[in-house]
Amino acid sequence: MKPSADDTLLRAFERALARGRLYMAYQPKIALGDGSLSRVEALVRWDDPDLGQVEPSRFIPLAEDNGWIDELTIWGLTNILEQWRTWRDEGVDTSVAFNISAISLQHLDFPDLVERLCQSLGVPADRLVLELTEGATQPLIKLMDTLTRFRIKGIGLAIDDFGTGYSSLLQLRRLPFTEVKIDRAFVADVERSKDSELIVRTIIDLAHGLGLSATAEGVENTAQLDLLRAMGCDVAQGYLIAAPLAPDRLAPWIEEFGARWPTLTGGKPSAAADVEANALGQG
Ligand code: C2E
Ligand code: MG
Ligand code: MG
């Protein structure tokens, strides 16, 4: 029987994992108050010699369904914590967010393992953030014990892609999250759609009301950035700020972006800039 496309992809993925062909790219997230680097999000990358660039959204579900996800999680975590150590040695001050599959969180001893890894590499566990997405088959509520153990160790927990998929308000209330990441589907037209604007504003207020920070993903233009700042969103991430970067690009990026930030914000608080733009528009 001819192997299916998924079989071929799975075999190629197994080879890539075994041969160390996967790597991490890091996308900066900035604090909207002052444009400083808040942290970087690690995103796995796979450039295959035969298949070209394979998107995580294709191979992660495959790894989850075929028993490879824990190996990918441990590889990814070790890789980013080692990179974090290197940055600290080089004087690059950042903290790191890691996307973790809910399947890997089923192991109750996983928080201890993460803490031990942080200790052995001398990186601060209380500045690590795990980003979780709720899936149909892995309701996060079932992971309450593991998630609580992470929080006891000071490790942050973000609910990713909030507002789409399976994430629910109940999870937000019951689980010990520290951050809400607003799905980029809402951010994409926040400056054009009154509905998206209302949804984004509501998620930000909800996050703040529950004592969580709000991050907007997929920020691609200054109109979105300005609006998000005016709405009190804490952190932003997206191509306007930076694409996912190779590790050695982070230090130069921090320098370049520091210089670019005043231009992005017009050098003044966004509310004032909006008022001025409106006045000009009317005049
Ligand atoms: P995510 O965690 O929501 O990551 C954000 C995705 O949006 C990334 O796609 C990123 O490259 C992309 N992105 C960032 N800024 C922009 C923008 O301004 N516009 C647009 N259109 N896209 C933007 P990517 O790298 O393809 O990752 C897709 C998903 O795969 C991630 O979504 C995450 O859920 C998962 N993922 C990535 N790396 C890992 C990993 O190491 N482990 C696990 N378990 N999942 C991962
Ligand atoms: Mg994420
Ligand atoms: Mg996301």
CB 44 within 8 A of CB 51: no
State how many domains the chain has. Answer: 1
For residue 1, the model assigns a pLDDT of 62
- pLDDT at residue 278 in the model: 44
Q: Which ligand is nearest to the CA of 100?
A: 1
**Any domain includes 109:** yes
Whether 44 maps to a domain, the answer reads yes
Ligand 1 neighbours, Cβ below 6 Å, are 27, 43-44, 55-57, 60, 76, 99-101, 131, 133, 160-161, 184, 217-220, 238-239, 244
Average pLDDT over residues 136-151: 88
- % of the chain surpassing 90 pLDDT: 83
Flag whether the pTM goes above 0.85: yes
Asked whether residue 280 is domain-assigned, the answer is: no
Q: Which CATH number does the domain housing residue 149 bear?
A: 3.20.20.450
> Is 170 inside a domain boundary?
yes
Q: Which domain range does residue 93 map to?
A: 23-266
CA–centroid distance, residue 94 to ligand 2 (Å)? 17
Number of residues that this document lists for the chain = 283
Per-residue pLDDT at 164: 86
Residue 43 identity (one-letter amino acid): L
Question: How many other CB atoms are there within 10 angstroms of residue 195's CB atom?
Answer: 10
Q: Strand, helix or coil at 31?
A: strand
Residue 281: the pLDDT is 41
Task: Give the residue, out of 40, 78, 99, with the most ligand 1 atoms within 8 A of its beta carbon, to mutate for a pocket test.
Answer: 99
> Is position 16 within any domain?
no
The ligand 1 atom at the shortest distance from the C-alpha of residue 237 is 15
Q: Is 168 helix (H, G, I), strand (E, B) or coil?
A: coil
- State in Å: Cα 189 to ligand 3 middle: 16
Q: Is residue 243 part of a domain?
A: yes
Does residue 7 belong to any structural domain of this protein? no
CB 79 within 8 A of CB 87: no
Residues 6+ apart with CB under 8 A from 250: 26, 28, 40, 87, 92, 94
DSSP strand pairing (22-31 vs 37-48): antiparallel
Lowest mean pLDDT among 142-151, 198-207, 273-282: 273-282
What per-residue confidence (pLDDT) applies to 266? 82
Which ligand neighbours the alpha carbon of 181 most closely?
3
Q: Is residue 274 part of a domain?
A: no
